[in-house]
Amino acid sequence: MTTTLRAVLQAFQSAEAPLSLGQLAATLDVSPPLLEGMIEYWVRKGRLRETGTTASACAACHQGSACPLIVKMPRRYELAAPGERAPETPPPCGCCHA
C-alpha cells in the first residue's frame, strides 16, 4: 500500500515534465493546500525543486514582481538531481537580517 506522500514523489518520478500543483491535485484527488504541504516536504528533503517560471522584472517599468503586467504562472515542480541541495531560504527582509 502506497501512502499519498509517497504517491506524490512517484508521480514526479514518472513525469516527463515539471508538474503544477493543480495538475497533480486533480490526478491524485487531493486538495491543493494538502498537496502543497506534501510537495514542500519533498522540497525540504531535497527530492523535489521548484522550477523557475516567472520573470524577475518587467521590461517596461522594472518593478519586478510588483508590476501588474507580469503574468504569474502556476508554481511547477520537478525531481531534484541526486545530491542537489535545496536552496537556502532568504531572510524575510534585508534591513535587519543582512
Domain locations along the chain: 4-79
Q: Does CATH place domain 4-79 in 1.10.10.10?
A: yes
Model pLDDT for residues 18-73, shown as the tens digit of each residue: 888 888 999 999 999 999 999 999 999 999 988 865 555 566 666 666 677 666 66
Given a cut of 50, whether residue 77 has pLDDT beyond it is yes
Q: Rounded CA gap, 43 and 86, in Å?
A: 7
Where is pLDDT greater, at 59 or 78?
A: 78
Instruction: Please answer whether residues 84 and 48 qualify as being in contact, where contact means their C-beta atoms are separated by less than 8 angstroms.
Output: no
Q: Rounded CA gap, 14 and 43, in Å?
A: 17
